[in-house]
Chains A and B, each alone.
Chain A
Amino acid sequence: MGKMLELKDLNVYYDAIHAIKGISLEVNQGEIVTLIGANGAGKSTTLRTISGLLKPKSGTITFEGKDIAGSKAHEIVRNGISQVPEGRRIFAEMSVMENLDLGAFTRKDKDGIKADVKHVFELFPRLEERKNQIAGTLSGGEQQMLAMGRALMSRPRLLLLDEPSMGLAPLLIKEIFNIIVDINKAGTTVLLVEQNANMALSIANRAYVLETGRITLAGDAKELAASEEVRKAYLGG
């Protein structure tokens, strides 16, 4: 398993606020790695920086051997990193199909796109039933599925997921997480940000705990799930 993504001494600011304070982490090919922590710890900021929506003040982001820190967001997608943003952020005024088409914006291979739409519909049969529906009329769970399907349409090698469980019923969360495991098994590496630490640790290989911009714990997901410290802070005792 080679190193796919490596963050080194990353510092990110929102104007004067020092949001990410020198974090380093890595994701190996084929893994599911999760970044857990409380609200405001800097989890989304980390993902947004990897995606190029924020520029780090210092530090490096290496993806498949290439430094991508400071690259523009639209270029990073072409490099093979796709993000499912927090709050899903689907194009609510467009149809399900149009959302998926936009996910494939970087691609020109019509046949490949068609095959991937089919693949997305296999993962999320409910989207196929609603393919001509305006995306804003979908339920929260369906919107999450659409956001994930859309992100897959660029054929990412690394998928960033920001709080996929947010606002969903427990049964639906389970379904979504099963699909994340399926996506990973099919060959896509996953970096998952979650407040629902229980669920995240249950599917991840490794985990990092983020507290106010710093990584305070790192290790095997199973071990972290069992550790006293994590249980108290994030798993409700």
Chain B
Amino acid sequence: MEVTHQVLQQLVNGISLGSIYALIALGYTMIYGIIKLINFAHGDIYMVGAYIGFFAITQAHLSIVPALIISFVVTGILGMVVEKLAYKPLRHAPRISVLITAIGVSFFLEYTSMYFVSPTPRTFPAIFGDVAIEIGGIVINGQQMLILGITTILMIVLTYIVHRTKTGKAMRAASFDTETAQLMGIDSDRIISITFGIGSALAAVAGVLVGVYYNSIDPLMGIMPGLKAFVAAVLGGIGILPGAVVGGLILGIVEAFVSGFVSSTFRDAAAFAILILVLLFKPTGLFGKNTKEKV
């Protein structure tokens, strides 16, 4: 009985953490889907989102939901600006140039942030106190409820946009075949920009939620979650939206179990062990199709 409790408790923890990875992984996978770029700056966009949420709460004294919305919008715009300035001029450049640029953007965001907000970690204000519900001995705290609620809503909205709206159809078309999408009258530059906007906005929400969950943010906080969300996206099959969600959840659950039953020092190792296993046995990921893809 005790073990069952622990397993279920870690499952709750894992799903909370995993849904954050999923939010970041969605942006990775959407951007990869449309311009075949592993956007290594994505984790740093998430960091900027966390800071915008932080300042919205501490300086503007907003509550969590308006802070999330502001971070969502501002970071979304930042993502579009980064795409326009850094990646758009390289549209016809070799992919390696774009990849290197992404690493440059990543450093730029990290160290510019350090300059403006200082490298010292900030304590994210506690917004829930000790709110928690208990179901059969399993504790779900306020932060976890917030994470699950917000990510569920965002995923439903995203699914609706991608499958039911004209812009979503254009996104899928451009992601499948950019050139032919243009022949349909789709402005691929606009669609790429929107994709960066949505992906960055989702990462921003993840950043704020992590701030709420772990109470601490710093300018380099995006590196590890960025890499892990990349693992999640690869695990699910890069370019495939449901893959990013499932990959994120699996990763979160595995990490929670490793932390809970082995040792939290092995948590990160578990994530990268998954990456190695996926690359060895199913490089296209769980939902991947068998297409040859060179990076």
Contacts and interface: CB of A to CB of B under 8 A. Distances in A.
A105 B177 contact: no
A106 B181 CA distance: 11
A52 B186 CA distance: 13
Interface stretch (B4-12, B165-173, B208-216): B165-173
Interface in A66-96: 72-74, 77-78, 82-83, 85, 89, 91-94
B239 to A, nearest CB: 11
A102 B165 CA distance: 11
Interface residues of B, number: 17
Nearest to A103: B184
Nearest to A77: B185
B184 A77 contact: yes
A53 B183 contact: yes
Contact of B166 (A51, A82, A105): A105
A85 B180 CA distance: 8
Nearest to B183: A83
B268 interface: no
A150 interface: yes
A101 interface: yes
A151 B182 CA distance: 12
A73 B173 CA distance: 15
A98 interface: yes
B169 A73 contact: no
Category for how many chain A residues contact B:
20 to 34
Contacts of B176: 91-94
B177 A73 contact: no
A74 B179 contact: no
A82 B187 contact: no
A11 interface: no
B143 interface: no
B151 interface: no
Given A53-B183, A154-B185, 20 more contacts: A52-B182, A53-B179, A72-B187, A74-B185, A74-B187, A78-B185, A82-B183, A85-B179, A89-B180, A93-B172, A94-B176, A98-B169, A102-B169, A102-B170, A102-B184, A105-B169, A105-B186, A106-B184, A106-B185, A150-B184
Interface of B: 166, 169-170, 172-173, 176-177, 179-188
24 contacts: A53-B182, A73-B182, A74-B184, A89-B179, A89-B180, A89-B183, A91-B172, A91-B173, A91-B176, A91-B177, A91-B180, A92-B176, A93-B172, A93-B176, A94-B176, A98-B169, A102-B169, A102-B170, A102-B186, A105-B170, A106-B185, A150-B184, A154-B184, A154-B185
